Amino acid sequence: MSSLFPALTGSRTDRPALRFGDRSLTYGELGAAAGALAARIGGAGRVAVWATPALETAVAVVAALEAGVAAVPLNPKSGEKELGHILTDSAPALVLAAPGDELPLALRDLERLDVEVQATEPAPHDHDRASADDDPALVVYTSGTTGPPKGAVIPRRAVAATLDALADAWQWTGDDVLVHGLPLFHVHGLVLGILGPLRRGGSVRHLGRFSTEGVARELHDGATMLFGVPTMYHRIAQTLPDDPDLAKALGRARVLVSGSAALPVHDHERITAATGRRVIERYGMTETLMNTSVRADGEPRAGTVGVPLPGVELRLVEEDGAPITSYDGETVGEIQVRGPNLFTEYLNRPDATAAAFTADGWFRTGDMAVRDPDGYVRIVGRKATDLIKSGGYKIGAGEIENALLEHPAVREAAVTGEPDADLGERIVAWIVPADHQAPPTVEELADHVASRLAPHKRPRVVHYLGALPRNDMGKIMKRALTRD
C-alpha cells in the first residue's frame, strides 16, 4: 500500500508535525528520525514501544509503521502482572524507549533500542511501500469481561481507512492543529491523536497530561481541534463558569471531539451554554477503530454518536441475531459493524476471534443502541455488565477480581462499576476479608491492584461483607450487591 504518511516526504517538510511541551519536530525532522530508526528495526517481527506521552513514542510508532513492523504500545504505568502477560503474549523482538527512561524488571531481558528524535544522517523512506494493506500495524491490548487483556491486531488498512473517514466527517485537513492530553497506548490518543494529524500533514500539540489551562493556551495559540474523553470535557464544563478565558479559547476551536465513553447531555449543554460551541461525539472501539460520528457539517445532536462513517456498515440486531430493519428511535439492539476499519484478530486467541464475529463477518460490539429515523445512533448501554468504563478506559471486572483474590487478606471478591460524575463509572470492590477482625484497607487494595495491573484499574471504593450473595449454582449475584 502507499505510504501512511505522505507528508513525511512531501514538498513541505519544514511544516511542524509534533510538539510535546517545548520539544518539537517538523515533518522533515520526523521523516529523518523515523527513517533512521525504521532502517534499524526493519525485519523485526514485532516491537514494543514504551508509550510515555513524549516525542519518542510518536517517532517510534511512525518508524515501526515505516518499517512495516507491528508496534505494541505499552502503558508505562502497567503493573507487573499485566506487563508480563502482554510481553509473553506479543513476544516482541525488542523494546523502543526514550533515552534515560527506566524500564521495569519485566523488560530488562528484552533488547532495548533508544529512540533518537534528531537523526544525525539522512535515511531512505521507502520502507513502508513494501507493506501490504492487511499487514499488522499495531497490536493494542484491550480488556474483556474475564481473563487478561487481549491483543487486537490492527492492520494498516484499518488505520488508513478510519483516519480518512474521519477526515471526511470532520473536514480534517493539513491546516488543522490538534491539541490533546490523551495517553498514547490506546487507539484514541495514538491512532486518532498522533497518526491522525500526521496522515493529514497537519500538526499535533500534546499536553503531556491533560489540563484545562493547557487546552486554553493551545487553542488561543492556533490549535483548531480538541480531542478528549468525557472526563476531560466534564472537567472543562466544571471549570468554565469561573474561567472566561477557557470559554473564549473553546469558542475559537473548529471542532471539539469527545469519545471513548458517553458524554452526558448535561456536560454537552454546559459547554454549549458557556462557549456557543457544540461537542461532537464519535463512537469507536479498539477492535473497530471508528464506526460513527456526528459530522462537522451535520446536525449536532447531544446524546448521539452520529451516523456511520464512510465505508462502515452498521446494523442493530435483536437478541436472536435478527437485524432490526426499521429505525424508530426506540427498539434496542446490539451494534454490529463491518468494514475496512476492523481488526483482523485477537493475537493467539482464535477462540475469542471466532466468537467476536457472526458467520457472515459482522463484528459484535456488545454495545446496545437505538437508531433515530434519520439513522443517528444512540448508545443506551452494554451487553456485558462486567465491563466498566472509567475515565474512558475499558476495564474488565474479572481481571480486578482475580488480582484482588491474589491478596492474602481477601477471601472473596466481586467488582462492579457505579456511576461517577467525573469518571463516568468508578470501580467498586466488594470484599469478604480472610480475617474480619483485620480487613485490608482501601489504600492497600488499591495499591495492590495498581501495582499488579494498572493505576486506572484500582478500586476507588471498597465494601466489606460477611459473604457474597450467590445463587443456587454458587454464582455471585452482582445485582444483589448493596451497601448494607
| Phi, psi for residue 317 in degrees, rounded to 5 | -125, 150
When binding is defined by CB under 6 A, the residue of 92, 136, 259, 339 that contacts ligand AMP is 259
Q: Pick one of ligand MCA, ligand AMP, none as the site partner of residue 36 (Cβ within 5 to 8 A by kind).
A: none
> Which residue among 367, 386, 399, 401 contacts ligand AMP (CB under 6 A)?
367
- What one-character DSSP code corresponds to residue 395? E
Q: How many CB atoms lie within 10 A of CB 427?
A: 24
- The closest of 150, 164, 180 to 344, measured between CA atoms, is 150
Determine, following the binding rule CB under 6 A, whether residue 313 of this chain makes contact with ligand MCA. Answer: no
Least distance between ligand MCA and beta carbon 232 (Å): 5
Which of ligand MCA, ligand AMP, none does residue 83 bind (CB under 5 to 8 Å by kind)?
none
32/54 with CB nearer ligand MCA: 54
**Rounded least distance, CB 413 to ligand MCA, Å:** 17
Which one among 90, 260, 341, 402 touches ligand AMP, defined by CB under 6 A? 260
Q: Judged by CB under 6 A, does residue 77 bind ligand MCA? A: yes
The phi and psi torsions of 17 (rounded to 5 degrees) equal -110, -55
**Partner in contact with 281, chosen from ligand MCA, ligand AMP, none, beta carbon below 5 to 8 Å by kind:** ligand AMP
232 sits near ligand MCA (criterion: CB under 6 A) = yes
Instruction: State which amino acid sits at residue 85.
Output: H
**Of the candidates 285, 312, 388, 453, which one interacts with ligand AMP according to CB under 6 A?**
285
Coarse DSSP helix, strand, coil percentages of the chain, rounded to the nearest 5 percent = 30, 30, 40
Quick check: 200 binds ligand MCA (CB under 6 A)? no
244 in Cβ contact with 436 (< 8 Å): no
Contact 340, 368 (CB under 8 A): no
Cβ pair 370, 378 in contact under 8 A: yes
Site for ligand AMP in 87-146 (CB under 6 A): 142
- To ligand MCA, the closest distance from the beta carbon of 428 in angstroms equals 15
Q: Per rule CB under 6 A, is residue 189 in the interface with ligand MCA?
A: yes
Least Cβ distance, residue 392 to ligand AMP (angstroms): 8
Question: How far is residue 4 from each of residues 41, 93, 127, 267, measured CA to CA in Å?
Answer: 18, 23, 11, 36
Q: Are 14 and 58 in contact (CB under 8 A)?
A: no
Q: What does the alpha-carbon distance between residue 163 and residue 269 come to, in Å, rounded to a whole number?
A: 28
Give the one entry of ligand MCA, ligand AMP, none that residue 262 binds, where binding means its C-beta sits below a cut-off of 5 to 8 angstroms depending on kind. ligand AMP
Q: Which is nearer to ligand AMP, 157 or 186 (CB)?
A: 186
Looking at 344-445, which runs of residues are DSSP E strands?
Answer: 345-346, 363-371, 377-382, 387-390, 393-396, 410-420, 424-433
Distance (Å, rounded) from C-alpha 308 to C-alpha 287?
A: 16
The binding track of 444-463 with respect to ligand MCA, each residue x by CB under 6 A or -, is --xx--x----xx-x-----
- Return residues touching ligand AMP (CB under 6 A): 142, 187, 259-262, 281-286, 305, 365, 367, 379, 382, 389, 394
- Return residues touching ligand MCA (CB under 6 A): 77, 182-183, 186-189, 209-210, 229, 231-232, 259-260, 284-286, 391-393, 446-447, 450, 455-456, 458
